[in-house]
Amino acid sequence: CIGEGYMLPKAYMFGKRRDKVKIPVGTSRKEWYLTVQQMTELYLHWKNRDMDFPIFNSWRQDNPTYAVKTAGSRDMLYQALAMFLMQYLCCGCNLFDLALLRYSRYYFDSGRKAFRFIRHKTEDETLDGEGMEVIVPITEPVQELLDIYSPKPKMDELVFPFLLGDDINKGAVAIRKRICQENKNIRDRMKKVVDSIGWNVMPTGTYARHSFATNLHVAKVPRDYISDAMGHSLGNRGQITMRYISPYTIDDRMNYN
């Protein structure tokens, strides 16, 4: 609001001074991440399609939580897992940016080796108003997911058109509502996925983003690269990036103690 001229800086009512309203710090989500080994396990389950999703039997009272209504529902569970993996592999992007990802000129100019997009969240946070760009190298797992869930690459076409469907042409409000619903769908379906393999975590898009940052950090990847890859704003990159990184894994803590 200050940047756009809607209010003067002195009128901003939030801050740590006594005459300001203090904003309480939110609960940390640094521990919301999956290790490389866990992500690899999910990837192999997707690739091998070896998870057991029994058909719900209305005559039984002991149906597992991961039972499905139809055989087609199994495909939707694997699709949800694929989109969760894509969020992780695409530099921890959120579903909004993944849904709007297109086969741009950059994709073709790079020899189909990388995607480029502007983080929607940062469009108004840079001096030029263009937002922070994210470059996603198309690794082998990414290409495998694209081969299954993306149509044949065409200039300026959506990479995953099914995420938005017809809502892509209905304006910003319709798009946001659709993304909200798809986020819920993926979250609910991922619950069945992890239940079927006996996990006690509840992976969401937040897990995908935190996992990307933390796993690169554990692998001793320079923090500047992590910030760049995640499209964090330049002004306070280090502080923003550290919000996503769990500084010590459980194994580290156990070893140190």
Q: Which of 129-138, 158-167, 184-193, 221-230 has the lowest mean pLDDT?
A: 129-138
Residue position matching structure tokens 């849904």? 99
Give the pLDDT score at 122: 64
Contact status, residue 138 vs residue 103, Cβ threshold 8 Å: no
Q: Residue 139: how many CA atoms within 13 Å on its side-chain side?
A: 9
Give the pLDDT score at 255: 67
Q: How confident is the model at residue 5 (pLDDT cuts 50, 70, 90)?
A: confident
Q: How confident is the model at residue 17 (pLDDT cuts 50, 70, 90)?
A: confident
Give the pLDDT score at 256: 61
Asked whether the predicted pLDDT for residue 141 surpasses 80, the reply is yes
Asked whether the predicted pLDDT for residue 197 surpasses 90, the reply is yes
Asked whether the predicted pLDDT for residue 89 surpasses 60, the reply is yes
How many other CB atoms are found less than 10 A from the CB of residue 54?
Answer: 13
Summarize the confidence of residues 132-160 as an average pLDDT: 94
How many other CB atoms are found less than 10 A from the CB of residue 222?
Answer: 10
Residues 6+ apart with CB under 8 A from 180: none
Contact status, residue 71 vs residue 54, Cβ threshold 8 Å: no
Q: How confident is the model at residue 120 (pLDDT cuts 50, 70, 90)?
A: confident
Q: Which residue has the higher pLDDT, 25 or 15?
A: 15
Summarize the confidence of residues 89-96 as an average pLDDT: 93
Q: Which residue has the higher pLDDT, 105 or 31?
A: 105
Residues 6+ apart with CB under 8 A from 78: 46, 49
Mean pLDDT of the chain: 87
- Total residues belonging to the chain: 257
Q: How confident is the model at residue 10 (pLDDT cuts 50, 70, 90)?
A: confident
Give the pLDDT score at 31: 76
User: In the chain, helix, strand, coil percent, each to 5?
Assistant: 50, 5, 45
As a whole number of angstroms, the distance between CA 47 and CA 242 comes to 32
- How far is the CA of 22 from the CAs of 18, 19, 69, 112, in angstroms? 8, 9, 49, 48
Q: How confident is the model at residue 16 (pLDDT cuts 50, 70, 90)?
A: confident
Asked whether the predicted pLDDT for residue 235 surpasses 70, the reply is no
Q: Which of 34-48, 134-148, 158-172, 242-256 has the lowest mean pLDDT?
A: 242-256
How many other CB atoms are found less than 10 A from the CB of residue 7?
Answer: 12
Range from 30-44, 53-67, 74-88, 130-144 that averages highest in pLDDT: 74-88
Query: What single-letter DSSP state applies at residue 27?
Result: P
Q: What is the CA radius of gyration of the chain?
A: 20
Q: Which of 28-32, 139-143, 165-169, 195-199 has the lowest mean pLDDT?
A: 28-32
The helix or strand, by DSSP H or E, that contains position 118, with its residue range, turns out to be strand 114-118
Summarize the confidence of residues 82-95 as an average pLDDT: 95
The helix or strand, by DSSP H or E, that contains position 20, with its residue range, turns out to be none
Asked whether the predicted pLDDT for residue 124 surpasses 70, the reply is no
Give the pLDDT score at 4: 82
